[in-house]
Amino acid sequence: MVALPDRILRSAEEYLVWEPTQEERYEYWDGQVVMISGATRNHNRISANFFKLLDDALTDRSCEVYIVDVKVQVEPGQKYFYPDVVVTCDERDIDPQLVQFPCLIIEVLSPSTEAADRGKKFAKYRQSATL
């Protein structure tokens, strides 16, 4: 049996071509490709509730609400994350793979993701000019 590395190194360009072909989801952290785990039913329900509330509230605006499987370009060429819910109202968001100009990001906390979500990810999200 061959042990696979926990983290795979790739360029951002390689990641953006490779990742959509995978069954699992992977985030990109400064060259490291990191597989993210699936969510529990409660986690999924909370995300779905946020999606429904936001989608209903934004009906009259040219905004799009995405859940779970849409990645966000947090830092071009450096960081690409999968938040639980993301909203964009920016007409420049035309890339079918990712949101580049989010105006709202929601991360549903769980014991296994809370430290990263509140720490490194939150710090990077706060640097976005469009949030």
55 occurs within a structural domain: yes
Look up the pTM and report it: 0.87
Q: How far apart are CA 74 and CA 124, in angstroms?
A: 7
Q: H/E element holding 48? A: helix 41-57
Per-residue pLDDT of the chain (131 residues; tens, 9 = 90+): 444 455 668 899 999 999 999 999 999 999 999 988 878 899 999 999 999 999 999 999 999 999 988 999 998 889 999 999 999 999 999 998 899 999 999 999 988 888 888 999 999 999 999 99
118 occurs within a structural domain: yes
11 occurs within a structural domain: no
Domains in the chain: how many in total? 1
| CATH code (residue 95) | 3.90.1570.10
Which residue range(s) make up the domain with 89? 40-125
22 occurs within a structural domain: no
Distances (CA, A) of 119 to 1, 22, 30, 38, 105: 35, 27, 16, 20, 15
77 occurs within a structural domain: yes
